[in-house]
Amino acid sequence: MTTKPRLQLALDHTRLDAALLTVERLHPHVDIIEAGTILCISAGIQAVGTLRERCPQHTLVADLKVADAGTTLAEQAFSQGANWMTVICAAPLATMAAALEVAERYQGEIQIELFGRWTLEDAKAWRALGIKQAIYHRGRDAQASGQTWGQQDLDTMKALSDLGIELSITGGITPPDLPLFKQIAVTAFIAGRALAEAADPVAAARQFHSAINEIWRS
């Protein structure tokens, strides 16, 4: 039986106060909270700590997309209360191993952010290190330039699942997109703008959950 995907709120605000307003409204309606790359760069790593204080029970992700200095940056994220931290797929294996060592010390996990160029051979090497999670990502800029989801994405997701990688999916995701992924074992759908910028964010979160419950009936 496939586990029901969870809903992750990505906070990609450029101001911490705005992100906190969004999380205040939405935290009861989402399963996982993400301190987004934009938020962490704009407000600093303290954004992770503040979100941990405000949402002590949620799984908390630091979406740092780390490319180097794996030990130092993982120490920053996990000591602020993150459960999961992202490392970019282009990072050297040494960076992934260093970040993973810190994550495991905090009982946390590393997620590989899949952007641009990477191969299934790379994915096998990540698994061999002990990394279990990845995020299949259609980047904002790629989306804005017209990139859509297609069969090639689904085939690649299936191949990653076959390697034992737990996949979250993101990149301009909205509820009507979800049926496309019904054959995929999805850990979480990660939504930023579709939740935070909705006219009624709580109603938008409910639409995500309705779609998930409809498609992944247990």
Give the residue at shortest CB distance from ligand 5RP.
192
37: contact with ligand 5RP by CB under 6 A: yes
10: contact with ligand 5RP by CB under 6 A: yes
φ, ψ at 122 (rounded to 5°): -60, -45
SS3 36: coil
172: contact with ligand 5RP by CB under 6 A: yes
Catalytic choice (6, 37, 41, 129): 37
Residue from 7, 9, 16, 36 binding Mg ion (CB under 5 A):
36
- Kindly indicate which of the ranges 31-39, 40-48, 144-152, 180-188 contains the residues binding Mg ion, using the contact rule CB under 5 A: 31-39
Catalytic (active site) residue 141: no
Please report which residue ranges of 64-192 form alpha helices under DSSP H: 70-79, 93-105, 120-129, 140-144, 151-162
Residue from 7, 33, 55, 190 binding ligand 5RP (CB under 6 A):
190
Catalytic (active site) residue 37: yes
DSSP 28: G
- Kindly indicate which of the ranges 87-95, 99-107, 124-132, 184-192 contains the residues binding ligand 5RP, using the contact rule CB under 6 A: 184-192
Angle (CA) 125-131-135 rounded to 5° is: 100
Q: Which two tokens stand for residue 175?
A: 């509820």
| Minimum CB distance to ligand 5RP, residue 68 (Å) | 18
| Measured distance CA(137)–CA(190) in Å, rounded | 10
Residue from 22, 95, 170, 187 binding ligand 5RP (CB under 6 A):
170
Residue 170 forms beta bridges with which residues?
Answer: 137, 190
